[in-house]
Structure 1
Amino acid sequence: MTRVTSASDDDDDDGSFDLDVKMTFGYYTSFDSDETHHSNSGAYLFRPRTPDERLRAFIPDPTKSWAFRSDLVTEVHVGFDVPWMKQITRLRKGQPYVEVEYTVGPIPIDDGVGKEIVARYDSGIQSRGVLYTDSNGREFVQRKRGYRPTWELKEYEPVAGNYYPVNAAAYVEDEDKDDDDDDDDDHRASMAVLVDRSQGGASLSDGSIELMIQRRVLADDGRGVGEPLNETVGGVTPYPPYGDASRRGEGIVVKGVHRILVGEGGSGARLARSLMDRTWSPPHVFAASSVAASSDNVLFKRPGFSAFGGDLPENVMVITHSLVEKMGSVMTFLVRFAHQYAKGEDERLSKPARIDLNKFYGDDFVRVSIAEKTLSGNQDYDQWAKRRLRWKKGGGGVLPTAAAGDDEWIVELNPMEIKTYLIELSAV
């Protein structure tokens, strides 16, 4: 059991919020049948051997566990009763999250059984069967256990049938109490788990989030790949008629990271948004040789360099900044700015954002021109807007469109809005 603590937004308390979270690693065994009318667990399908199979938990081994402490970080390294599973729980100074780093593999298949490895985080949150998962890093979608919004579900696969894509984050929170419930709202809590890659996720019991971190199965699911999901370090031999398409070497080893944040009830989306981008796409670190440093490249002769001369608002991110064309000193960039919060997720950060590109680009560039494009970047936005369908609201009125400002170098974004531009800059 780990107690996760985060800063509180309530000025009346001691400035922190605590929630006990139990971390469990384990696996499901994969369904594998020789009968053609059955769907095996495979590249496209997750299906445990029995519909209501329970997670087979790994047991922590104290003889393989130890702790490390410094002024900047505290780490707890945990080994398990299987040699191919390791965990590091990490607390970084000044950070509001608990980081869980896992290393899995090679997954053994000597027993002829496929295995689907899961990390599960259990809390006391009364989520009432509700889980929220992101849709490709944008809107959060409400998922209800054993429920579909458009038809009456007859559930045959209670485990697999409640798994959903998690691209960036998932969260659970105490749902609203009944009117006659005497529980104080101060006890309501939220828990968000952030991922560094797309994974399957579920909440099979209240207050729980589980994420599938690795799979190795031995049967094809019959959905077009034509082979089991059995990745090995040596690859695969040629396919018939040139070979037998057999796997070479041991199974692969994967390493990944989850970050856990907790907070007051109703704050799940805000917690997830606060660190989603940094978890999924951390900065890349590069090193150069001393030869490069002594070259004529001006960048290596400066202690720091950024093409951007100013900071973006906290709720905005540059999601694309790609060089399209270079003619002499003039460079054309495809740039996308995205508002990273949805309406109602945060009292302050869910408001419209404003970016002044006159101040955004630094002194190393002269602004030449800017043109707003459609999201795909292949049409002028103004021309496309004249041809677009004007959807009506429920009351019969026409949905408003954002009005362009007087200064084309000032970008205004509504919650969850993405705007695309072709920007020409000239190097000084």
Structure 2
Amino acid sequence: MAALYISFLFQLLFCLVFSLPTGRNSICGYKSCPATKPSMLNVHLVPHTHDDVGWLKTVDQYYHGDRNNIQHAGVQYILDSVIDQLQKDPARRFIYVETAFFYRWWRQQSQNTRRIVTQLVNEGRLEFINGGWCMSDEATTHYSAVIDQMTLGLRFLNDTFGECGRPRVAWHIDPFGHAREHASIFAQMGYDGFFFGRLDYQDKARRMKTKEMEMLWRASESLTPPLADLFTGVLPNGYNPPEGFCWDQSCNDAPIRDDPDLEDYNVDEIVQRFLNVSYNQAAFYKTNHIIMTMGSDFQYENANLWYKNMDKLIKYVNALQAKGSKVNVLYSTPSCYLQELNLANLTWPLKTDDFFPYADDAHDFWTGYFTSRPALKLYERLSNSRLQTCNQLEVLGGPKSTSGPFGEGDSDTMKRAMGVAQHHDAVSGTEKQHVAYDYARRLATGWAHCEVLVRNSLAVLSGSESPRVFCENLNISVCPLTESSQKFSMNVYNPLGRTVSWPVRLPVNGSLYSVTDTKGKTVDSQVVPLSKSTQQMRRNRGYAKGELVFQVEAPPLGYTTYIISILKDEPPASSPKPTATRSIQNKFLKVTFDDTTGLLSSLTNLETNQTIRLTQNFYWYNASSGNNKESRQPSGAYIFRPNSSDPFVINKTAEIQIVTVSSTVQEVTQWFSPWVSQVVRLYEGHRELELEWTVGPVPIADGLGKEVITRLDTDIESSDYFYTDSNGREVLERRKDYRPTWDLKQTEPIAGNYYPINSRAYIKDDKHQLTVVTDRSQGVSSIYNGSLEIMLHRRLLYDDFRGVGEPLSEPGEFFDGLVARGRLLLTLTPPNMAADVHRPLAQGMVLQPLLSFQDGTPLANTKLEFSGLQDALPPAVHLLTLSQWDKDSVLIRLEHQYQAKESKTHSQPITVNLQKLFSTLEVLGASEMSLGANQWKEDMNRLQWNTAKASKPLPLSAKDPSPWEVTLNPMEIRTFLLQLRQL
């Protein structure tokens, strides 16, 4: 009872956060919806603007209306104009989506304007839809970053407008395909429905014929319905107005001229045309309600043009009701439209797969952006890892983290930068080059703020205020401190809730080093020669001759320290001449190479005594230039369109340049061409094979754009099936030339079989499963039986006519083309054991340890090791979020990271005690919230929907045994606001 009482008091203490005053006349939400007419066709006009958080212009340029020579767009003027026009007629409505822009605009407004806007929100006339910091991409985003950016936007709306600011509908009108995990996230955040504009042209044609443009999306195979069920609707006109009815200053459609004394009077013509459009649209939908999106990209800068004409349209169309017309037009919102569909109480078709890949014509598959801008995709993923570390250390270090010995630091700047980076023209790689630079600059600025916070926090936790440095370029072996220091310490912070073993590679110039852990125990280490490709990539930014390689073990949610001292201050031995290497192996894996070609030839799991044939090579597809007789569509930032189904092999053989065999690592450096190389690695004690690829600058002097892939060919009998993750969580089955919900007419045999992966993909048969874990979002396919190909890099010579207006040809730092480097981790297991290996492996790739360095030896009183948890979390449990909410409370999310029936060991309910979670924090109170952290869980009350198809039976969800003990069922994420006290 005491625990319940404390929790109750805690909820009362924080209820103001979620129940801000909304005014005496608050009738927002479904209560504010306008009346409709049951016997008529109700046409819901939805005034809206779609404001990209960067695309052709940067975020700042879009907001201010700068560089209108690129695109005329100024978000601040849109909001100014809309607010002015909404005040002139209480019937008018408007929806707004991108909180990143609204947040900036709101901060600049006077108190009087804020009062007016608050009243409009309270009356449901200005409604926030979606509500995230941006409208995120769905193919190339990781679920953790999506949840974070949604939480950021939703919290601002909640803090500013209370319940009336809470969006009820998800709105992804512009992303290029739709992920099942996004729908699951929206459902768990409490949304009642989801609307989007883009789906495959063949799928759309079928759905229009069968009136299945609206459906119930069952977005999880593990969560018990209706937890991840989401009503989903396909908008009829993308997100544009019907043809002929665009009245923005950017449009050329005729205004309504309603003076009968003038010769150009056109009311009758426009009304009749609108009636025709309405009936035509209604033919594809099931109810007597249809929705029309009245707006488009950056429209309503002069809102008077829109509203003046829509007022007339409503007036004259509805006037015909007196003459027997059955069409009723009204200002509305997506949530009001959704409510009418719910009240119809119909049975809706069920959707269980996703909406990838997306094509808008026979040869126009939007599958290139799965890989576009590979360096930015990696930087975004690493930035996500750094943000989680920053958030955690802000909590663990206490108040001095943000204001401590190293100055003022914050996590908010990084949160906003990461929020912007999730936009569907950001991490997707579909922006102009100068905008891509801006996204990267924002992430760098965010990390600079977090660096100060991390330094402060580690100073508090360790008791040492010695200067601490971070090395940003370890992947190209650059770190001035380790290259020059005779003795230094390395702090390894682990953001995961379990102990991790991680290989570290530090650039050095000595030939022998001593590495010791916190107990003074010597850690096995080895100096290995630097590869030729690494030397070429770093150019003159570093001068290390070798890399010091050793394994670190870091405690859960904590750090450990290693002391590194030089023993032989002489240059490392030069690279030995390669021998005829047949194989490398550790105690878990063995890899063999072909004597003739130098390519991989087999992979053996020594624990399970499994061997598969494994050949790997690099290829490139010749990108279409648009002069093909079938179609003039070229490859570009969005579109992948090879001009042949057969890629060119870069080299049929691989020259083996370096072979390293030591007690810490065994590796083989393969050279395929001046612009493609790879290191094949087996670290001691690891169950995965690492392939570190380096690709670029991609040559284009031959006048050919190139889409570079690596292909793994095996003897696994995969039978045209392969599997990909959805935003890093649940796995979906894919099948070559097949779609689960319609009969596919395949027109692009390569591009039409590409799917996005965010963390892993695999092929399998009854005995073997080969899983590939990636370090960023990429495109993947299985074109041949037993084969898995991953697109690594793209350099193209033509724009693909989707708006960007420039080819995807990144210049790179030295302006001779971008060089991309990345890692693929391969595991071989029986299928029933695979998840126990690839789940933690993928999680470790997403949340990597943070290394920091201090010159010299730590002071005597320095605390060399720390864990923020009392004990490591169970293998099935992941601490997804640990973030400071306000002065006295912390937001946490605990997730079950296994699917139902995925693992014999871990696909079971698991219980965590909140009071026994942290080592230095006492939990005084806990209240559960929605996934988006903008509602108390007990207040969530979603609309319910009927479907003809029964759900698959799942085990009953286990319940919490006590107020402090939280039970997680497979794939469940639970969010809590905790009141904490530092011990």
State the TM-score, normalized to the length of structure 2.
0.37
Residue 382, structure 1, aligned to residue 938, structure 2: yes
Q: How does 1:231-250 map to 2 (within 5 A)?
A: 231-233=810-812, 249-250=815-816
Query: For each residue in 1:336-392, what CA deviation from the matched residue of structure 2 results, as whole angstroms up to 9, or x when unmatched?
Result: 111111111111111112112222110x222122111111111100111x4553878
Question: Which secondary structure does the structure 1 equivalent of 2:635 belong to?
Answer: coil
Matching residue's letter, 2:637: A
Q: Distance in 2 between matches of 1:255 and 1:145?
A: 29
Which residue does 2:775 correspond to in 1? 196
Q: Is the 8 A contact 1:171 1:268 kept in 2?
A: no
Give the Cα–Cα distance (whole angstroms) in 1 for the partners of residues 701 and 952 of structure 2.
65
1:96 to 642, 662, 687: 687
Residue in structure 1 matching 2:609, options 16, 35, 39: 16
Give 1:249 deviation, angstroms: 1.4
* 2:619–2:647 contact (8 Å) kept in structure 1: no
Q: Write the mapping of 1:131-142 to structure 2, written as runs, cut at 5 A.
A: 131-142=722-733
1-side partners of 2:703 and 2:614: how far apart?
A: 34
Deviations, residues 14-67 of structure 1 (Å, cap 9, x unaligned): x432222111112111111268962211111111122x23342433343x5221
Segments of 5+ residues of structure 2 without an aligned counterpart are: 1-599
**Mapped contact 2:669–2:679 kept (Cα < 8 A):** yes
Which letter does structure 2 place at the counterpart of 1:409? W
Match of 1:165 among 731, 743, 756: 756
Partner of 1:29: 622
Counterpart-to-counterpart distance in 2, 1:88 and 1:397: 45
Q: Structure 2 CA distance, aligned partners of 1:398 and 1:213?
A: 40
Q: 1:287 aligns with which of 828, 836, 853?
A: 853
Given the alignment of the two structures, is residue 315 of structure 1 paired with residue 876 of structure 2, yes or no? yes
User: Structure 1: how far apart are the matches of 2:832 and 2:952?
Assistant: 32
Percent sequence identity over matched residues? 35
Matched, 1:148 2:739: yes
Are the aligned partners of 1:392 and 1:399 in contact in 2 as well (CA < 8 Å)? Answer: no
Aligned residue pair count: 383
CA distance in 1, matches of 2:689, 2:647: 26
Q: CA deviation at 1:270?
A: 4.4
Structure 2: distance between partners of 1:352 and 1:91:
34
Q: Normalising by structure 1, what TM-score?
A: 0.82
Q: Which moved more, 1:340-349 or 1:275-284?
A: 275-284
The offset of 1:268, in angstroms, is 4.5
| Structure 1 counterpart of 2:977, one-letter code | L
- Match of 2:29? none
TM-superposition CA deviations, 1:212-245 (whole Å, max 9, x none):
11111111111222211111125xxxxxxxxxxx
Shift of 1:133: 0.4
Q: 2: CA distance between counterparts of 1:337 and 1:131? A: 30
Any conservation in 1 of the 2:883–2:890 contact (CA below 8 Å)?
yes
- Highest CA radius of gyration, 1 or 2? 2
Equivalent residues of 1:117, 1:213 under 8 A apart: yes
Tell me the SS of whatever aligns to 2:867: coil
SS at match of 1:301: coil
Conserved? CA contact 2:958–2:967, under 8 Å? no
Q: Counterpart of 1:48 in structure 2: which amino acid?
A: P
Amino acid at match of 2:651: F
Q: Tell me what 1:219 maps to.
A: 798
Alpha-carbon distance in structure 2 between the residues aligned to 1:7 and 1:411 = 39
From the two aligned structures, give the one with the greater strand fraction: 1
3-state SS in 2 of match to 1:278: helix
Higher fraction of helix: 2
Q: Per the alignment, do residues 287 and 189 of structure 1 end up closer, same or farther by CA in structure 2, a change over 3 Å counting?
A: same
Matched with 1:254 is 820
Whole-angstrom distance in 1 between the partners of 2:677 and 2:933 = 44
- Structure 1 residue 157: Cα displacement: 0.9
Counterpart of 1:342 in structure 2 is 899
3-state SS in 2 of match to 1:161: helix
Cα distance, 1:322 vs structure 2: 1.5
Q: Aligned with 1:276: secondary structure? A: helix
Q: How does 1:171-182 map to 2 (within 5 A)?
A: 171-174=762-765
- Structure 1 position 197, deviation (Å): 0.5
* 1:294–1:200 Cα change, 3 Å: same
Where does 1:358-369 land on structure 2 (aligned, <5 Å)?
358-362=915-919, 364-369=920-925
Equivalent of 2:913 in 344, 356, 360: 356
CA displacement at 1:256 relative to structure 2: 0.5
* Deviation of the 1:84 alpha carbon: 1.1
Matched AA of 1:346: S
Structure 1 residue runs of 5 or longer lacking an equivalent are: 9-14, 176-187, 235-247
